[in-house]
Amino acid sequence: MKKILLTSFFLALALVTAGAQSIWDLGRLEEVKANLGNPSYAKAWAALKAEADKDLEAEPLSVMIKSRTPASGDKHDYMSLARYYWPDPSKPDGLPYINRDGVSNPELNELDRNKLSATADRVATLSLAWFFTGDEKYAAKATEFIRVWFLDKATRMNPNLEYAQMIPGVNGGKGRSYGVLDSYSFVEMLDAVALLEPSESFTARDSRELKKWFGKLLDWILTSEQGRKEAAQTNNHGTAYDAQVIALALYAGKKDIAERIIREFPEKRVFTQIEPDGRQPRELARTIAFHYSWYNLTHFVDIYLMARKLGLDIDRETSPDGRSFYKALDFLVPYLGTGGKTWPYKQLSGWEGVETNLYKDLYRTATLLDTSRTDYLDLYRKNARIPLKDRFNILYVAPEDIRQ
């Protein structure tokens, strides 16, 4: 009987998630679940479960608990502050705020941005814990967070980002186009929700209403002034915009929108952002150029993985003069392990962390996109030092490739 129930469970899970948006791979997660006792996964699983257990004790967050009210007068509207803007000390009221580039204003914590990302992370953590253990308490808590942030009338966020990354004293309190990306953490969270679907706690009504909510957010992103401006960006912002639109469209059941963005992606983003030799000029102009060169490409990988779920293989698309995603990766690879000493552009800080992240995307590329790129896999196996407790190991890495 137990075996029959387990078989039915996985069948239901496969049916629910088949064709759904995903940068995660369900088959891979099922393999991990079947081998969770493997010592290679011990630290990553222990860290994930400890975080899930901690989240069980956390109070749900909502847009209603922020210290200020948006210009709309409705606290249900999401509101965040442009990170590097501070009160003008020469003005009695501090308005309008002025830029202090690279210095984060702690007022960020008073508004919704960190609460949104914390909620998305908690839903992902708890959903994974439910998937791996089958313990309904994790699903119940994840569902509670979802209902409070998105669905409950008293606490739900309105499905727009009209006041995201606003600058006090500027533009009547309206947000900026960059604020559209405040919700990027929803991309991975929706993968987690797909895992949660077969649970008892996350009901059919929850699923239906959440899809409606994300459909409305998608419509706002596609039609609002901020969304249209972000779509027109020609650097990593435009790429991240595409990734978010694809994810939301697939979750909301608007497959045609996702397919359109994916089919346009090579001409619109790849061939315009990458030079024939692999350079990304708009990212190389930044003060942390290696970081942004990788950061843009990690969105490429997310998009290519989502495209594969629709049967669209676009990662090898190459322009007549040789511009491609792989050229961009190959441009960065020779600088791995150099500590930035031979990097001919600016990288003021964070070299080691970016190297680790680039190794992760080389692994995702070699194992999930183009398995002929054994050179990427060899680089990862020889040089990557991913902490054993890193969740990446559970989400993507085969046991034999886990090492520190």
Task: Express each pLDDT in 112-124 by its tens digit.
Answer: 999 999 999 999 9
Report how far residue 8's alpha carbon sits from residue 1's, in angstroms, rounded to the nearest whole number: 11
User: Domain range spanning residue 23?
Assistant: 1-232
What's residue 20's pLDDT? 53
- State whether 226 and 326 are in the same domain: no
Residue ranges of the chain with per-residue pLDDT less than 50: 1-19, 21
- State whether 50 and 199 are in the same domain: yes
| Residue from 182, 183, 151, 176 nearest 162 by CA | 176
CATH at residue 377: 1.50.10.100
- State whether 206 and 301 are in the same domain: no
pTM of structure: 0.93
Report how far residue 318's alpha carbon sits from residue 321's, in angstroms, rounded to the nearest whole number: 8
Which tokens hold the place of 267?
């001409």
Report how far residue 267's alpha carbon sits from residue 265's, in angstroms, rounded to the nearest whole number: 6
Q: Are 332 and 291 in contact (CB under 8 A)?
A: no
Q: What would the pLDDT profile of 269-291 be if each residue is shown by its tens digit?
A: 999 999 999 999 999 999 999 99
Is residue 240 in some structural domain?
no
Report how far residue 3's alpha carbon sits from residue 31's, in angstroms, rounded to the nearest whole number: 16
Q: Which amino acid is at 53?
A: D
Q: What percent of the chain has pLDDT over 90?
A: 91
| Residue from 396, 404, 334 nearest 31 by CA | 396
Query: Total domain count for the chain?
Result: 2
Q: Are 187 and 250 in contact (CB under 8 A)?
A: no
Q: What would the pLDDT profile of 351-379 be if each residue is shown by its tens digit?
A: 999 999 999 999 999 999 999 999 999 99
The DSSP secondary-structure symbol of 156 reads P
Alpha helices in 56-167 (DSSP H): 113-133, 136-146
What's residue 158's pLDDT? 98
Is residue 238 in some structural domain?
no
Is residue 257 in some structural domain?
no
What's residue 273's pLDDT? 98
Q: Are 54 and 398 in contact (CB under 8 A)?
A: no
- State whether 102 and 218 are in the same domain: yes
